[in-house]
Structure 1
Amino acid sequence: MSFQAYLDNIQAKTGKSPEDLRAMGTDKGFLVQGRIAEGVKATQITDWLKAELGLGHGHAMAVYALFKGKKA
């Protein structure tokens, strides 16, 4: 599955666009000025996405990659 397919599936499941996810990550304190905040670990982000949005591990990791700067 391509990175874009992961993002498309996440949006279909949650109704959240990549921009929405970034805004949520900022509100949660995981992102500062569009970058992952110092000291934040991948597990913190993936655990949050699994609990709050019901994502599986692969999809949560795709959001983490988005946060790290991977482009669609």
Structure 2
Amino acid sequence: MSFQGYLKTIKEKTGKGPAEFRQLAEEKGFTKNGELLAKAGDITNWLKIDFELGHGHAMAIYALLKGIKNEDSE
């Protein structure tokens, strides 16, 4: 699945896009001023529990938060 496919599926399942996940991560203290402070496991556990995302989809959000990928990545 392409990165865009992951983002589309996440949006369909949760109603939230990358900007909203960035804001939520900031509110939860996982990021500060856009810099990731949490480990991958902390992020994926949060997304699996709160949003019922699978591991691959949770890792896609982690990649966004870490800056590995962005909304334009393929």
Q: 1:45-56 counterparts in 2 under 5 A? A: 45-56=43-54
The one of 57, 60, 63 equivalent to 2:61 is: 63
User: How far is the alpha carbon of 1:44 from its aligned partner?
Assistant: 0.4
Cα distance in 2, alignment partners of residues 71 and 14 from structure 1 = 18
The secondary structure found in structure 1 opposite 2:11 is helix
Q: TM-score, normalised by structure 1?
A: 0.93
Instruction: Give the fraction of aligned pairs with identical amino acids, expressed as a percent.
Output: 54
Q: TM-score, normalised by structure 2?
A: 0.90
Paired positions, count: 70
Cα distance in 2, alignment partners of residues 12 and 34 from structure 1 = 24
Runs of 5+ in structure 2 lacking a partner?
none
CA RMSD of superposed structures (Å): 0.7
Runs of 5+ in structure 1 lacking a partner?
none
